[in-house]
């Protein structure tokens, strides 16, 4: 699956493999983004999530039920690949609950920037704890 979000409109451009009668096929489409609309709904309902700024490049808002203790848990795609980490959830009842999650692509990018900014000696000390960079 490949996903890009237009920062101005919030529209999600999606490219993914889907099962059909003929096996796997590629499907491309656009879906309205949840971000700005959801933030506005949460703000008008008085939920503190509506006050926190939303960065579609770094995070995603997912319509799902969350329970206490789920923060830090993984969000996985249909192939079992971790795509995000749950951070927090809306608390005001607006008919559904939204979970704010940080995108793995954002985390990996930030880790790469941090790792490459380290001095060579520090990189050598840290690298055994990292799978790959």
pLDDT of residue 113: 93
Overall pTM > 0.95: no
Low-confidence ranges of the chain (pLDDT < 70): 1-36, 132-133
Residue 90, helix vs strand vs coil:
coil
Q: Is the dihedral of CA 50, 54, 59, 62 positive or negative?
A: positive
Per-residue pLDDT reduced to its tens digit, 88-107:
988 887 888 888 899 999 99
Cβ–Cβ contacts within 10 Å for residue 58, how many?
13
């Amino acid at each position: 699956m490949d996903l890009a979000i237009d920062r101005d409109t919030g529209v999600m451009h999606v490219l993914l493999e889907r099962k059909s009668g003929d096996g796997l096929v590629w499907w491309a489409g656009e879906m309205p983004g949840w971000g700005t609309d959801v933030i506005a709904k949460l703000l008008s309902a008085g939920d503190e999530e509506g006050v926190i700024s939303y960065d579609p490049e770094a995070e995603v808002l997912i319509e799902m039920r969350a329970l206490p203790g789920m923060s830090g848990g993984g969000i996985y795609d249909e192939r079992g690949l971790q795509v995000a980490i749950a951070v927090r959830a809306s608390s005001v009842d607006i008919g559904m609950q939204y979970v704010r999650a940080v995108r793995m692509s954002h985390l990996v990018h930030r880790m790469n920037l941090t790792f490459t900014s380290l001095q060579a000696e520090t990189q050598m000390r840290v690298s055994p704890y990292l799978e790959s960079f």
